[in-house]
C-alpha cells in the first residue's frame, strides 16, 4: 500500500436525529470555504499519519487512515483500534491518542479509520441483509452489505495494516457508532475471534426488526472455542429515546419523537447486555449522561480509546 500524510480537514458531522444512519444527514459535505486572500500559513499536518486507498473484492473504494505512536512498540506489539466512519472519527481519536492519551492513562497504540473517498456508503456497508427491507426506515437507500464489508475488513484491511506495523492481535479493538455500532455487533456475533474487544456505541439494534439478534444462537459456543476471553462495551445516550428536560415541546424533538421511541436505543442496548451476561464474554453497559444520538459521538470515541489502550486483557 502507498500513502500520504494526513492533513487535518476532516469535518465531524454529527447526526441531528436517530436518522443519522442516512448518509445525507451524517455525511453532508458542505461547500468549501475559501481562505481570506491575506491569510498566511500552511495546512495543519498530523504527525506520524498516513492515508491509503483500498478496494474491496465487491468493488467498493475506501480510504484507510493510519496513525502510529512516537514510542517504540512493546515486545508483543502495539495495541490497535479500528474505527468505523473513519472519515469523521479518525482525526479526533488519533490526535487525542497522540497528544493527550498519556495524560488519560492510555498506552501508545495505533489508530486506524476506515472511511470513503466520496459519499459515505455506511447505510450499505454496516447493515445486514433483511428480507423485504427495514420497516422503521424503509427509504434509507441501499442496504445489506455487512457481510461483504466484514470480509473486506478481515481479509484485506487488517492483514495489510498489520503486515506493515508491529501489532499485538490480542489487543485489537473494533469500534462503531449508530449503524457502526450495529456492524460492530455483527462482527462480534459472526467472527468473535477477529477482535479482542468491541465497542458498540448507540448501536442500531432496531434495524430490520432486530435482525442482528438472529445471529446470537451459537455465540456462546463460538466464544468458548476461543483461546482468550472477549470484551463488549455497549452504550447509549441518556436522551436517545426520551426528550431532555425542557425540550418536551421542542419542534426538533417532536419531529423525531415517535421514531426515537420505537427505535429504543437505550432499552435495546441494555437488554442485549443483560442477555449476553451469562455467555463467556465480559460485557459492560452504560448510559452517557446528557447525550442525544446527535451528540454522543465524542463520548463514544473516548470510550473506544479507553477500551483499546487502557484496558488490558
> Tens of pLDDT along 147-164?
999 999 999 999 999 999
Segment among 8-12, 41-45, 148-152, 210-214 with least mean pLDDT: 8-12
Using CA atoms of 162, 165, 169, 174 in order, give the dihedral in degrees to the nearest 10.
-70
**Span 54-111, pLDDT tens digits:** 999 988 999 999 999 999 999 999 999 999 999 999 999 999 999 999 999 999 999 9
Please say if the pLDDT value at position 9 is more than 90: no
State the pLDDT confidence band at 19, using cuts at 50, 70 and 90.
Answer: very low
Q: How high is the mean pLDDT of the chain?
A: 88
* Pairwise pLDDT comparison (59 vs 208), residue with the higher score: 208
- In sign, the C-alpha dihedral spanning 265, 270, 276, 281 is positive
Please say if the pLDDT value at position 214 is more than 90: yes
pLDDT of residue 59: 82
Q: Please state the rounded mean pLDDT for residues 192-211.
A: 96
d(CA 218, CA 193): 14
% of residues, the chain, pLDDT over 90: 77
The single-letter DSSP state of residue 244 is P
pLDDT of residue 313: 58
pLDDT of residue 15: 37
Q: Which residues are catalytic?
A: 178, 240, 293
- Distance between terminal CA atoms of the chain? 31
Least Cα distance to 212 among 226, 230, 224, 198 occurs for: 198
**Span 121-134, pLDDT tens digits:** 999 999 999 887 77
pLDDT of residue 152: 97
Q: Please state the rounded mean pLDDT for residues 218-237.
A: 96
d(CA 279, CA 259): 31
pLDDT of residue 132: 74
Question: What would the DSSP string read from start to end of 197-231?
Answer: EEEEES--TTHHHHGGGGG-TTHHHHHHTSSS-EE
pLDDT of residue 26: 37
User: Is 111 exposed, middle or buried (CB count within 10 Å of its CB: 0-12, 13-18, 19+)?
Assistant: buried
pLDDT of residue 17: 36
State the pLDDT confidence band at 10, using cuts at 50, 70 and 90.
Answer: very low
% of residues, the chain, pLDDT over 70: 85
Amino acid at each position: 500500500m502507498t500513502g500520504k500524510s494526513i492533513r487535518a480537514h476532516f469535518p465531524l458531522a454529527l447526526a441531528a436525529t436517530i436518522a443519522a444512519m442516512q448518509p445525507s444527514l451524517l455525511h453532508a459535505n458542505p461547500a468549501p470555504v475559501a481562505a481570506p486572500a491575506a491569510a498566511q500559513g500552511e495546512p495543519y499536518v498530523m504527525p506520524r499519519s498516513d492515508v491509503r486507498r483500498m478496494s474491496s473484492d465487491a468493488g467498493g473504494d475506501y480510504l484507510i487512515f493510519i496513525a502510529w505512536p512516537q514510542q517504540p512498540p512493546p515486545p508483543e506489539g502495539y495495541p490497535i483500534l479500528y474505527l468505523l466512519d473513519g472519515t469523521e472519527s479518525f482525526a479526533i481519536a488519533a490526535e487525542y491518542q497522540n497528544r493527550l492519551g498519556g495524560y488519560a492513562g492510555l498506552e501508545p497504540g495505533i489508530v486506524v479509520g476506515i472511511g470513503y473517498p466520496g459519499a459515505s456508503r455506511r447505510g450499505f456497508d454496516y447493515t445486514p441483509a433483511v428480507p423485504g427491507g427495514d420497516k422503521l426506515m424503509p427509504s434509507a437507500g441501499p442496504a445489506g452489505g455487512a457481510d461483504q464489508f466484514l470480509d473486506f475488513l478481515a481479509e484485506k484491511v487488517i492483514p495489510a495494516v498489520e503486515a506493515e506495523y508491529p501489532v499485538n492481535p490480542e489487543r485489537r479493538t473494533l469500534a462503531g457508532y449508530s449503524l457502526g455500532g450495529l456492524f460492530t455487533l455483527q462482527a462480534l456475533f459472526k467472527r468473535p475471534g477477529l477482535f479482542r474487544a468491541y465497542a458498540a456505541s448507540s448501536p442500531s439494534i432496531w434495524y430490520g426488526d432486530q435482525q442482528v439478534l438472529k445471529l446470537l444462537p451459537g455465540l456462546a459456543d463460538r466464544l468458548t472455542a476461543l483461546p482468550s476471553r472477549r470484551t463488549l462495551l455497549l452504550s447509549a445516550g441518556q436522551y436517545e429515546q426520551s426528550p431532555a428536560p425542557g425540550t418536551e415541546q421542542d419542534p426538533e424533538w417532536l419531529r423525531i419523537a415517535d421514531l426515537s421511541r420505537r427505535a429504543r436505543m437505550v432499552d435495546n442496548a441494555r437488554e442485549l447486555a443483560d442477555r449476553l451476561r451469562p455467555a463467556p464474554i465480559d460485557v459492560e453497559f452504560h448510559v452517557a449522561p446528557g447525550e442525544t444520538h446527535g451528540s454522543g459521538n465524542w463520548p463514544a470515541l473516548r470510550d473506544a480509546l479507553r477500551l483499546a489502550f487502557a484496558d488490558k486483557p
